[in-house]
Amino acid sequence: MQITPFTPNDIHPFLDLAKDEGWISTRRELAFLLERSPEGCLVCHEDGRPVGFVTAVRYGKSGWIGNLLVASDVRGRGIGTALFRQAMQVLKSNGTSTVWLTASTYGRPIYERNGFQLCDQVRRWERLGEGEQQLKPTVAMLPDWQEIDYLGWGDSRNELLAYAASNGTAVGAEEGFLVLQRLGNSQQIGPFGALNSSIAEQLLEQMLPGTGRVLLDVPSSNRVASKLLTSRGFTVNSEVDLMYAGHPPAYHAEHIYGLASMGSMG
């Protein structure tokens, strides 16, 4: 077993494994992670073959561990644990005070043994229309968007917001913002933040595509968001645990209507 930082050449093998697991991952997202946090993107090789991956990225005082994936034929040999622990060490060495991740029911006990606590659940919502819809060019990020996102997560995530906005259409009001991103043949809503339900509803009405597959991940404790999405024809197709380790975050789910990524970096 040899764990090293992964390179652009490892992106394709990762995407193949992710596809086999039914994950939603893109080459563009991994390229961003490699640029933003090269030391936190790790691969495990056995006999020259990439058999496991993980990514760890820091923003502000927080970090996010995602994309922990091990090939099915080598599971149960400690590869995932070794990758996870090395990713944690990367974040700790960079002075990260709070580490986030999402966990399946199966994975939650493993993370609890490593000091992670349950914070919330994250539900994946989906709506399917007919045909496809092209996105308009993005608009510039506004300072208020960063402040609203900070209210939700308790930390500055400006690089992540800029990345998301560059990948689609971004709109904002004084009390909220919404980004509609490209996601392969689908589209993703998020990041999506608002100070109140009225603004959230206005932004969703403005940006919700009438056609194509639309996805978003939302904290389950934001019941206003759940009600709003249900009324617009969205349904829940999965749920994972949102966990953190380290310093308790100033987390306010009522301002979070959509995560910036599909589980890999918050």
Which pLDDT score, from 0 to 100, does residue 90 have? 96
For the domain made up of 123-258, the CATH class stated in words is alpha beta
Which pLDDT score, from 0 to 100, does residue 216 have? 97
Chain segment 39-59, per-residue pLDDT in tens: 999 999 998 899 999 999 999
Which pLDDT score, from 0 to 100, does residue 130 have? 63
How far apart (Å, rounded) are the C-alpha atoms in residues 256 and 197?
11
Grouping H, G, I as helix, E, B as strand and the rest as coil, residue 120 is strand
How far apart (Å, rounded) are the C-alpha atoms in residues 201 and 195?
11
Percent of the chain with pLDDT over 70: 95
Chain segment 182-193, per-residue pLDDT in tens: 988 899 999 999
What average pLDDT does the structure give for the chain?
A: 90
Do the two domains 2-96 and 123-258 of this chain adopt the same fold? yes
Q: Which two tokens stand for residue 202?
A: 């206005």
167 contacts 28 by C-beta, under 8 angstroms: yes
Crossing angle of the two packed helices 27-36 and 158-165, in degrees rounded to 10: 150
Alpha helix locations (H) across 60-165?
79-93, 108-112, 143-153, 158-165
Q: Does domain 2-96 have CATH number 3.40.630.30?
A: yes
Grouping H, G, I as helix, E, B as strand and the rest as coil, residue 81 is helix
Give the residue extent of every domain in the chain.
2-96, 123-258
Is the peptide bond preceding residue 50 cis, with omega within 30 degrees of 0? no
How far apart (Å, rounded) are the C-alpha atoms in residues 191 and 256?
8
How far apart (Å, rounded) are the C-alpha atoms in residues 38 and 241?
26
String of b and e for 200-230 (b: at least 16 CB within 10 Å)? bbbbbeebbbeebbbbbbbbbbbeebbebbe
Predicted structure pTM score? 0.92
